[in-house]
Amino acid sequence: MADRLDRPKGAERGLFRRRASNPDRAGVVVEGIARFLGTPRFLVYLTVFCLAWLAWNIWAPEDLRFDSAANGFTALTLMLSLQASYAAPLILLAQNRQDDRDRVAAEQDRQQAARSLADTEYLAREMASLRQALGETATRDFVRSELRALLEELRAEEAADDDNGDELRRPARRTR
């Protein structure tokens, strides 16, 4: 194994060596157990276990029974208490991990919403500037009306020139 520079020499020796594994692995295992504890399959298994325990300790021969009904099935009560005492912290750990994931997801959603809002505001400003620029652009109807006005002005000048007898401005007509 190559020398690890992130650990002091000899850190990998000894009775309690740390395994190089995923530090989140325990959380994943805990979540798996907590999810299983909340399934109907687990409830069926627990019910079958309790019924088998009770049936054995009621109907089995006296010398093979290990939990007596006279004592209120103390061992079964202890087993169920042990299961519940482990289940509660596992469920809480799984909920804490889910809360952490939800918190990270909510923060990412807030950041995405802020980016979307900034993008939307930018696009709104760009649209406003485009509308303003289009408002200053000559439209087809405006150009047509200007051309008509110029044509009428030219015709009026030509008619005025014809009335004044200014033959020099007009091209000469050819005759055959």
Q: What DSSP string describes 34-71?
A: HHHHTSHHHHHHHHHHHHHHHHHHHHS-GGG-SS-GGG
DSSP string covering 114-175: HHHHHHHHHHHHHHHHHHHHHHTSPPHHHHHHHHHHHHHHHHHHHHHHHHHT--SSSPPPP-
Residues ≥6 apart with Cβ < 8 Å to 90: 30, 33, 34, 37
pLDDT digits (tens, 9 = 90+) for 33-81: 999 998 999 999 999 999 999 999 999 999 999 998 888 999 999 999 9
Distance CA 68, CA 77 (A): 12
Distance CA 30, CA 90 (A): 6
Indicate the pLDDT class of residue 3, thresholds 50, 70 and 90.
low
CB 71 within 8 Å of CB 121: no
Q: Which of 21-30, 135-144, 154-163 has the highest mean pLDDT?
A: 154-163
Indicate the pLDDT class of residue 14, thresholds 50, 70 and 90.
low
Question: How far from 67 is each of 23, 38, 64, 84, CA to CA, in Å?
Answer: 41, 28, 9, 20
Indicate the pLDDT class of residue 138, thresholds 50, 70 and 90.
confident
Domain residue spans in the chain? 25-135
